[in-house]
A and B are shown apart, each in its own frame.
Chain A
Amino acid sequence: MQRSNSYTIIFSLVVCVLIGGALALVNELLKDRIAANKANETRVNIMSAVTVVSASDPKEIEKLYKKNIESYVINNKGERVTEDADGKPVVAEEINVKKQYKAMKDAKKLGQEVDMLLPVFKFRSELDSTQTEAYIFPVYGAGLWDAVWGYVAVSGDFKTVKGVVFDHTGETPGLGARITDKEFQARFAGKGFLNTEKRELYSLDIVKGEGNVFEGDDNIYKVDGLSGASMTTNGVEKMISDYFGFYKAFVMEESLKSGDDEKKGTPSDIDVGNMVSVQ
C-alpha cells in the first residue's frame, strides 16, 4: 500500500508523541518510589560498612538509620560546611560523590584546587549515644572498566578501619567484581587508619596475589589482594588513598579533640528482625 508522504510523517510524529507521553507519565507516577528505593539503598550501604544490617523493611531501615547515624558535611580543610557555593543548604546523604570527585579531577587537570563537599556519617555507639563508634566516608574512583565506589568506616578513635563496602558498574564477574564479596571486604577490618604516634594516615596496600595472611603491627597496612584482579584492586587502592587524603585535615583535627578519650562503647551488631543480612 503506497501512502502519501504526509501520512507517513504525521503517523511517525503521532507515534513519537504517544510513546514519549506514556513514558513521561509512568516516570512521573513512579519517580517518588524510585527515589525512596535509592535513598534506602544508600542508608543500607552506609550502615553496612560498620555492621550487619539485618532489617529488610525500608521503614525499619530508616528508623535504624535515624537512630544510629549523625551526618554532616565538611570540606577538604576539615571545616564544617552548611551551604554550598550557591548558598543552598547541603544534606550529607544527597551529596553526589561522583560529581564532587569529577569536579576535583577536572580542576586538578587545570592546576587548580577546588573545595570538595565531603559527607561524614557518624555511627553512634549503642550503649552511649554521645560516643562515636565509627566514622563513615563515601569513596569513589576508577576500576579497570568503569567506576568503583563504596564506603569506608573507621573506628571512633580513628586508629583502625572498621569495615568497608564496595560496589562497581562493570568490573569483570568472578574477578574484579569480587570487590563486592563480603569475604574480600572483611580483609580490611582492623587495618590501620591513623598512625597516632607519627600523626599520619596509613597508606593501605592491597597486595597483588591472594591467599597471603597479613597479621601483626608490621602488616597493619597490607591487605590480601584478589588473584587475577590486580587492575581493579589498584583502582580501589588509589580510591582509598585519594579519599584518605581528602579527609586527612578533618581526621587530624577530630583525633586531637577525642585524643584522651578512652571511653568507647562496646561494638555491637545491630540486629533487627530476622537474620537476613542486606547486601
Chain B
Amino acid sequence: MSTETTVEVTEEKVVAKEPKEGLLSKRRRKFVTDPLDDDNPVTVQVLGICSALAVTVQMKPTFVMAVSVVAVIVFSNLIISMMRKAIPSQVRIIVQLAVVAGLVALVDIMLKAFVYDVSKQLSVFVGLIITNCIVMGRLEAFAMGNKPWDSVLDGLGSGFGYSWIILAVAFFRELFGAGTLFGARVIPQDIYIKNGGFYTDNSIMVSPIGAFVILGLIIWVQRTYNGYVEE
C-alpha cells in the first residue's frame, strides 16, 4: 500500500527558533493533492469500488454521494484524530466504526430533511458509506497516528480523490446511458432511432459493467499520464 509516505508522525518538538509549520505548508498541501492523482484511493489504491459502481448511473445522486463521503471522511478523521490518544487499542476498530456509523446516520437524516428526492435515489447507498474502505482505511492508516488538522487535510484529499473519479464515471454513464447530464437532455431527441434517427442509448452504461469499463479506461489513461511501470 502506498500510504507509507503519508504516515509521517511528526511530533513537532518545540525548538525555540523553529517557526511553526504553516497551515498549508508544502507537506500539508501534499496531503490534499497526493490522493487526487498519484495516490488516488479508487484508481491507485483500488478502494471504494462498490459505491463507485453503484451510484454513478446519474450525476445528481453521484454529486450528493461525493459530498456525503467527503463530509464523512473529513469529520470522522477529525474526531478520531482528536480522540486518538484516548482510544484503547483493543477496541479501536469498533470505536472508529461507531464514529463513522454515527456520522453516516447523521448524513442520512440530513439528506431526508433537506433534499428528500435525492435521498430517495441514494436510499441504501448512503448507509453503505460506512462499508467504503476508504473511510476506515484513512482512519486506521492516518488519523490514528496524526494530528487533527493534518487528518482533516488527508480526509479532504482522499475525499476529493474519490469524488472526482466517481463524478467522471457518472458523467460518461449518464451521457451514454441516458443522453442527459444532471437530468438535462444533452443528446437531442431527434437523432434517436425511435424518433427516426440512428442513435440509441447504451444500456451497458446503465449497468455496473459499464462503470467497470469506464473505471478501467480511467486507470489506463492515468497510468499512461503518470508513466506507471509494472514491477
Contacts and interface: CB of A to CB of B under 8 A. Distances in A.
**A and B: real partners?**
yes
Interface of A: 1, 3, 7-8, 11-12, 15-16, 19, 22-23, 26-27, 30, 33-34, 37-38, 40-41, 169, 173-174, 279
14 contacts: A1-B89, A3-B88, A3-B89, A8-B88, A8-B90, A11-B91, A15-B98, A19-B98, A19-B101, A23-B102, A30-B109, A30-B110, A30-B113, A169-B123
A26 B109 CA distance: 8
B105 interface: yes
Nearest to B207: A174
B11 to A, nearest CB: 15
Contacts of B203: 174
Contacts of B95: 11-12, 15
A40 to B, nearest CB: 8
Interface in B103-119: 105-106, 109-110, 112-114, 116-117
A12 B90 CA distance: 11
Interface of B: 57, 86-91, 94-95, 98-99, 101-102, 105-106, 109-110, 112-114, 116-117, 120, 123, 203, 206-207
A173 B106 contact: no
Contact of A22 (B90, B102, B117, B206): B102
Contacts of B101: 19
A3 B95 CA distance: 15
Contact of B112 (A7, A8, A23, A37): A37
A11 B86 contact: yes
A27 B90 contact: no
Contacts of B94: 12
Nearest to A23: B105
Most A Cβ at <10 Å: residue of B102, B123, B203, B207: B102
9 closest Cβ contacts across the A-B interface?
A37-B116, A19-B102, A8-B88, A30-B113, A174-B206, A33-B113, A3-B88, A34-B112, A34-B113
A173 B101 CA distance: 27
B109 A11 contact: no
Nearest to B106: A26
Contacts of A174: 203, 206-207
A265 B64 CA distance: 44
Contact of A11 (B87, B105, B113, B206): B87
B211 to A, nearest CB: 12
A34 B109 contact: yes
A40 B113 CA distance: 12
A107 B121 CA distance: 34
Given A8-B90, A15-B95, A41-B116, 8 more contacts: A3-B88, A7-B88, A11-B86, A15-B98, A23-B106, A34-B113, A37-B116, A279-B117
B106 to A, nearest CB: 6
Contacts of B120: 41
Most B Cβ at <10 Å: residue of A7, A19, A279: A19
A37 B113 contact: yes
Contacts of A16: 98
Nearest to A177: B206
A25 B88 CA distance: 27
B87 A173 contact: no
A47 to B, nearest CB: 16
A137 B200 CA distance: 36
A11 B88 contact: yes
B206 A173 contact: yes
Nearest to A3: B88
Contact of B57 (A1, A12, A37, A173): A173
Most B Cβ at <10 Å: residue of A15, A33, A40, A279: A15
Contacts of B106: 22-23, 26
Contacts of A40: 116
A174 B209 CA distance: 13
A12 B91 CA distance: 8
Nearest to B178: A174
A242 to B, nearest CB: 25
Contact of B91 (A1, A8, A34, A173): A8
A27 B109 contact: yes
A38 B117 CA distance: 10
